[in-house]
Chain A
Amino acid sequence: MLSIKNLHASVEDKAILKGINLDIKPGEVHAIMGPNGSGKSTLSQVLAGNEAFEVTSGEVTLNGENLLDLAIEERAREGVFLAFQYPVEIPGVSNLQFLRTAVNAMRKHRGEEEMNAAEFMKQAKEVSKQVDLDPSFLKRGVNEDFSGGEKKRNEIMQALLLQPKLAILDETDSGLDIDALQVVSNGVNALRAEDRAILMVTHYQRLLNHIVPDYVHVLAGGRIVKSGGRELALELEERGYGWLGINDEDTSN
């Protein structure tokens, strides 16, 4: 489904990704782990098309289609979803309006009828229950005065609504207490499907206790230095990154 070949990317002329190779098949869950500054978040931003990053070489295809040729919104409509690490606020725009605009943009792309407000409301309420959010939050401004946990749940809820082909979760576990982590994980597990690929970016192993990945990759210095199964994450938890010859400078967060 997703194929990344020799991907290089930089920000302000500083090389961050230095040759990423990765293949993800439908139905698989891959976890990308690595110390801070290894390029984990950059990889998710580049896949989604953030224009602050420049792809200097390499290839990324989604179901055979060249993603790098597409604008941000076109990638989204082809099924790329990014759950943000720090979701931004849009004051005055209600969550409901934002989500409906997004859902309808996708529907329009697929040649389907737009959803009216009542229909959408019904669906949004159901999905909000899946991530344990009170439906009243649909009326609040996008991420406006949301707690950290609410923001993360909101991101997962959007993934559930938009039903992407590829869901990229950027540090979805950061800043969550154990209860919130459980709720978010349940949401992500509900997202798992045979025709969907999930790419999780995380610093910590603990998320993987709740969402069990098929593969784990260790990213360091802009390259994948080791790949393995679920057991690799456990080994990392036990032994840190040092045994891989990686200097984990900062694990404070």
Chain B
Amino acid sequence: MATTDNEVKELIKREYEHGFVTEIESDTFEPGLNEDVIRRLSEIKQEPEFMLEWRLKAYRRWLDMEEPEWAHVDFPKVDYNDISYYSAPKKKEDMPQSLDEVDPELLRTYEKLGIPLHERAKLAGVAVDAVFDSVSVATTFKEPLEKAGVIFCPISEAVHKHPELIKKYLGSVVPAGDNYFAALNSAVFSDGSFVYIPKGVRCPMELSTYFRINAANTGQFERTLIVAEEGSYVSYLEGCTAPMRDENQLHAAVVEIVVLDDAQVKYSTVQNWYPGDEHGKGGIYNFVTKRAACIGKNSKVSWTQVETGSAITWKYPSCVLRGENSVGEFYSVALTHNHQQADTGTKMIHLGKNTRSTIISKGISAGRSSNAYRGLVKFGPAADGARNFTQCDSLLIGDRCGAHTFPYIESKNKSAIVEHEATTSKVSDEQMFLCRQRGIDPEQAVSMIVNGFCKEVFKELPMEFAVEAGKLLEVSLEGSVG
């Protein structure tokens, strides 16, 4: 469009706003991975024997596995011995008991990111677990949650305080040997959040975990486990950012959700890891396994994700619909710009009777980026009356980007019904002309058109995060007009 070269350059120069580095003393492992590293990690966390064994078993599985190459992404091989597997800010005691004990430098970091950890602050009504590099540094609203019987704590704490729940559920949805990155995570995961909602309890507030990678040459391997007992409900949100660094950094997380009879879990993600610069240098490799098991009857899981960050995203939040009448939903906005690559989608595995799933995927590609939707809808032999609806829409901005759709459908049940709709469109010159003729800046016009395209997904996000997601798209699209 008509924006002059200078304007475009100016816009591109505006930088990733979460790209700062916190100057804080850390205990960081030397790069490299072997059994001793895992033992040391487990020792620092004073883990019970069963955890160490679990990790070592996963590590041995990992050694025998091959890195997957089927995704529609292209990047140099990761040297797993070049990564440090643990980095934690130094602190007086092992675990801060209250916010007063948290290093003020860390509190400032989260303030700067717009995630105030002080409970009276603006996110009032949302409990936050803040994970900094490899450890959880603070969890807010512990008391009111405890009163409701809800457990919301760092997973490292849950290993000590609730070993029976950890033993029962950890790895029950994503087994250690599930895939290459899940195995790696199982061996070296350092922290993450644990959520337990007891029978019949509606969690009194939104829960959220905020992940921050700070240290250089460090991988973040967080592990989140959510268990929703019969008839319970929880809405959970995660947010992610990282400093700007020239080197790529690895983030390989695992999220497991267990949903019992009549329970509902709503899981929302706003992923804004550093995407690399406009030449494709640096950025996070985001290789994540997320899966929910709808074990119970009438259980329901909704995944909503807004993915704007990371150099490479490899992520398929999935639902295993085992319980009768269980429901799985996947709402996704994935935006790629500059040299970003995304291969993302979902898997809906229908095993039980009358299970239903909905997939709404919105992919937006700008710059020289590549954006792929990959989805599997599978019906087992017992999935009588199951049905799926899939809608995949791609929006292209400019003519140097790519959008791809890889839908897979497997059915072993004749009564299953699948509907699939897909569209590809462009931000058209006519739309831009109309907006600009009404006095609207080209950048604002693109952002408005893209927001409109994503509306169906944004309406699934909790209110305050929908606003944040809209703004995030705006920032991520800067420099896309030119």
Contact = CB atoms under 8 A, between A and B. Distances in A.
Interface of A: 48-52, 71-73, 76-77, 81-82, 84, 87-88, 90-93, 97-98, 101-102, 105-106, 109, 141-142, 158, 162
B26 interface: no
A52 B453 contact: no
Given A72-B2, A84-B434, A90 B452 contact: yes
Contacts of B441: 73, 105
Nearest to A88: B430
A76 B436 contact: yes
B447 to A, nearest CB: 10
Interface in B417-451: 428-431, 433-442, 444, 448-449, 451
Contacts of B449: 90, 93
Nearest to B454: A92
Contacts of A88: 428, 430-431, 433-434
B431 A105 contact: no
Nearest to B393: A91
Given A101-B444, A105-B441, A71 B451 contact: no
Nearest to B448: A93
Contacts of A82: 437
Interface of B: 1-2, 428-431, 433-442, 444, 448-449, 451-456
Contacts of A76: 436-439
B433 A72 contact: yes
A142 B434 CA distance: 11
Contacts of A87: 434
Chain A CB within 10 Å — which of B435, B437, B441, B451 has the most?
B437
A92 B451 contact: yes
Given A88-B430, A90-B431, A91-B453, A72 B436 contact: yes
Chain B CB within 10 Å — which of A88, A91, A92, A109 has the most?
A92
A170 to B, nearest CB: 11
Contacts of B1: 51
Nearest to A52: B429
A223 B455 CA distance: 46
A105 B438 contact: yes
A73 B429 CA distance: 14
A81 B434 CA distance: 10
A162 B439 CA distance: 10
Nearest to A81: B437
Contacts of A72: 2, 433, 436-437
A103 to B, nearest CB: 8
A28 B257 CA distance: 69
A106 B436 CA distance: 11
A6 B456 CA distance: 50
B440 A102 contact: yes
B434 A93 contact: no
B395 to A, nearest CB: 10
A51 B431 contact: no
Contacts of B433: 48, 50-51, 72, 88
B361 to A, nearest CB: 15
